[in-house]
Chains A and B, each alone.
Chain A
Amino acid sequence: MFFLKKGKKKPKQAQHSGSRLYPVLHVIDSLNDYKKDLIQKEVESLWALNSVETSFSGVLSEADHFQTHLQDLGNSFSNISQAAGRFADVRKAISDTVSEAQDKVAELKSTSMEVEKSYSEMEHTFEKLQSAVRDIQQCMGRIVSIADQTNILAINASIEAARAGQEGKGFAVVAVKVRELAEQIKDLTSEVDVGIHNVQSGASQLSGSIQASQEALGHSLDTVNSTYETFHKITAAADGASSVQDEISGVISDSNHALQLIYQFFHSIQKRYQEVVKHIEHAKKLGTTKSCMFEDIDNMMSQIPIIVKEADADQR
């Protein structure tokens, strides 16, 4: 390939001196020099463009990095929102549990009331029992009195039987028997009295126990009532958590809104970035087409000196 090198200008001038077409060669020589400079500048431009692209790739990379962080932040907000959302679940679980417990306590209260009612009935029954015992005691007193009178009568009968002598012997035996029976009645009455006394004492103790149970039951009912209040407090506390959740949701919503604005900002910035990338790509493409044009220019210009040389030779 024949083409003129910048450093070989002087020898070529000597070679072509005297040629009528030397000016053409001179022009070609100069054009070649310009072309070389142009190519050098083009190489520098491509380098500069590469540097711009590299720097811009850095910017894009940083922007992507930042956007990833924003994404992470958005995800964190979302996680917080989800976690706050679980307050509602917890609140509902508490409410359900409290409601269930309230039902159970109501059932307990109802049962306790029935027990209390039973106790009242028992108390009433005891009162009747005590009254019956007292009646029995009075009856027993009369029986003892009748037994005493019977005994006196038996003694009187024995005396009369003794007075009657032989004829009164049979009568005296009956009188003795009657007196023995009266004594036995008195003994039995005594035993019954002891039994009644024991019944009275046991009933009195039972009555005391029932009273104690009634008092305990009364306390239980008080506790049940205060449990109701506690349940109300739990429900109120759970409702309070719910309002905290609402506040958190509100803050997150505000934050998300702010984040969306940043996203939008970045989205629009990215659009601009893409435009810059397109421009860089376009400039690079133009650079590559220029290199092909330089090749064509080279291929065409390299033929001129030969034509000139041949024309000179023809002239001679």
Chain B
Amino acid sequence: MRQFFGMSQSGNLAEAVRGMDRPQFIMLLSNQAQFEAHVKNLEELYPGIPSIGCIGMSYQDRIVESGVSVIAFSDGVAAAANVLEEVSTVPVKYIERLERDLSKAGGSERDTVCIDFCSGNDACALSTIYSVLGPRKISLVGGTGEAGLVSANGVVYQDAVAYAIVRNLHGRVKTYKENIYHPLGDYRFIASNTDRANYILGSLNGKPAKQVYQSILHVTDQQILTQTFKNPFGKINGDDTCIISIKEVNGNALACFRQVNDSDVLILLELGDFKAITEETIRRISHDFPTRSAVFSVNCLFRYKLFTEHNYMQEYLKKMSALGSHAGLVGYGEHYNNRFVNQSMTCVVFE
């Protein structure tokens, strides 16, 4: 297979798709003002080609902040795209679409992946999608777009999750999640007094969450919002840690960027040597896949800000491009199988 990346910093779709030949699956990453028009135009240019889209920044060897970009797969993939609607309440109503698309793709865990763009309520959307993918052991990589809009097959949807089942016809696929944080101290908390609908974390080990966070890190209410770059929470799930960013202070509680549930086990994280960690991920991918056709990734907006602040973003993209064709989306949240995470990078590698 081949991956095409085209972009226009000025938002010119025609410029972005220049050179895109016989795509078999397209991802559109646009800006809020032009999103609907871009979706429509793309469908006109490539009718019937499975596509999904969302609003957000994108990148290949450099960032496209407010223009448009297209990422397309060709020469050896089978893809089906669709959408689960009413994602904030009842996405399961549309689950048969996913089941049909999976059956149509006919792939296996070895060669098939699900890529999704979600407009919100990601955890519920992922639980629903993974109720189908999980038993088939199909991996998922995706992210959250801006403005509550996504597109699938030329149609814009609100309150939906657009997905694509992509099968690599000539090789394997594998997904990765990169965490540039490590545990801080031996702190271990059991969450309680949570409000999962509003992503509120009330108490940690029975004490007000804000007080616990402040007492450990000695920060003011205001500083908490920036401290999350250095010290987010981590939700433990067996051997895995899912990062949870703090959005704001809410009384004595903390509002987060993903839902927290009573009985969640949380730890405090600390920013690690992100340069070394990203290099290690590249090494791991290179080891797993000596030959790579494409790498599609979703990088969190927090990472983009952090890397930019450390003048590392451009260097990071350059290093990732050493893997071959690498492109992706700057998301508001990242998806990895049934887990909605923050401040992470998830990616899928095609052999």
* B309 within 8 Å of A (CB atoms): no
- For chain A residues 205-254, which have a beta carbon within 8 Å of chain B? none
B residues near A2, Cβ cutoff 8 Å: 89
Question: Are B123 and A285 in contact, CB atoms less than 8 angstroms apart?
Answer: no
A307 and chain B: residue at smallest CB distance: B90
Residue A187 at the B interface, CB < 8 A?
A: no
Tell me which residues across on chain A come within 8 A of B30, comparing CB atoms.
none
B89 touches A303 (CB 8 A): yes
Give the distance in Å from the alpha carbon of A302 to the alpha carbon of B261 in the complex. 14
Q: 0/1 per residue, B238-263, Cβ < 8 Å to A?
A: 11000000000000000000010111
Instruction: Give the complex CA separation of A94 and B259 in angstroms.
Output: 83
Instruction: Enumerate chain B residues within 8 angstroms of A296, measured Cβ to Cβ.
Output: 127, 130-131, 338
**What is the size category of the interface that chain B forms with chain A?**
20 to 34
- Is there a chain A Cβ closer than 8 Å to B128's Cβ? yes
The residue in chain A whose Cβ has the minimal distance to the Cβ of B131 is A300
CB of A298 closer than 8 Å to a CB of B: yes
Q: Which secondary structure dominates chain B's binding surface?
A: mixed
B207 at the interface (CB under 8 A from A): no
**When the two chains form the complex, which single residue of A1, A288, A303 contacts B237, counting CB atoms closer than 8 Å?**
A288
Q: Is A306 a contact of B89 with CB atoms below 8 Å?
A: yes
The interface centre, meaning the residue of A39, A46, A292 with most chain B CB atoms within 10 A of its CB, is A292
Instruction: Decide yes or no whether B93 CB sits under 8 A from chain A.
Output: yes
Q: Would you call B190 and A295 a contact (CB within 8 A)? A: no
Say whether B188 faces chain A, with CB atoms less than 8 Å apart.
yes
Closest CB in chain B relative to A13 CB, distance in Å: 22
Q: Report whether B93 and A307 are in contact in the complex, using a CB–CB cutoff of 8 Å.
A: yes
Number of A-B pairs whose CB atoms are under 8 Å?
Answer: 83
Q: Which residue of A lies closest to B206 (CB)?
A: A47
Task: Determine if B190 and A43 form an interchain contact, defined as CB atoms under 8 angstroms apart.
Answer: yes
Give the residue name and chain of the A residue nearest to B265 (CB). Answer: A288
B240 to chain A, nearest CB (A): 9
| Least Cβ–Cβ distance between B78 and chain A, in angstroms | 29
User: Does A55 interact with chain B (Cβ within 8 Å)?
Assistant: no
Give Cα distance in the complex from A220 to B47, angstroms. 130
- Contact partner of B128 among A42, A292, A300, CB < 8 A? A300
Bound Cα distance from A303 to B196, whole angstroms: 14
Instruction: Give the contacts of B41-94 with A (CB-CB under 8 A).
Output: 89-93
Query: What residues of chain B lie closer than 8 Å to A46, measured between beta carbons?
Result: 190, 263, 265
Name the CB-closest residue of A to B239: A285
Q: Give A292 to B318 CA distance when docked, in angstroms.
A: 36
Q: What chain A residues lie within 8 Å of B264 (beta carbons)?
A: 288, 291, 295
Q: Does B3 reach chain A (CB closer than 8 Å)?
A: no
- Least CB separation from B339: chain A residue: A292
Q: List the B residue with the shortest CB-CB distance to A287.
A: B265
What's the nearest-Cβ distance from chain B to residue A16, in Å? 17
Q: Which B residues, 68 to 125, have Cβ-Cβ distances below 8 Å to chain A?
A: 89-93, 121, 123-124
Q: Most chain-A CB neighbours within 10 Å: which of B130, B192, B263, B339?
A: B263
Judge if A204 is at the interface, Cβ distance under 8 Å: no
Q: Is there a chain A Cβ closer than 8 Å to B197's Cβ?
A: yes
Find chain B residues with CB under 8 A from A284 CB: 265
CB distance from B79 to the nearest CB of A (A): 26
Bound together, the chains give a CA A303 to CA B84 distance in angstroms of: 13
Extra 11 A-B pairs, beta carbons < 8 Å, given A2-B89, A300-B127: A1-B197, A50-B188, A285-B239, A286-B238, A288-B265, A292-B339, A300-B92, A303-B91, A303-B93, A303-B124, A306-B90
User: Which residues of B pack against A, CB within 8 Å?
Assistant: 89-93, 121, 123-124, 126-128, 130-131, 188, 190, 192, 196-197, 235-239, 259, 261-265, 338-339
25 residue pairs A–B, Cβ–Cβ below 8 Å: A1-B121, A1-B197, A2-B89, A39-B263, A42-B263, A43-B190, A43-B192, A43-B262, A50-B188, A286-B238, A287-B263, A287-B265, A288-B264, A289-B237, A289-B238, A291-B237, A291-B261, A291-B264, A292-B339, A295-B259, A296-B338, A299-B126, A299-B127, A303-B91, A307-B90
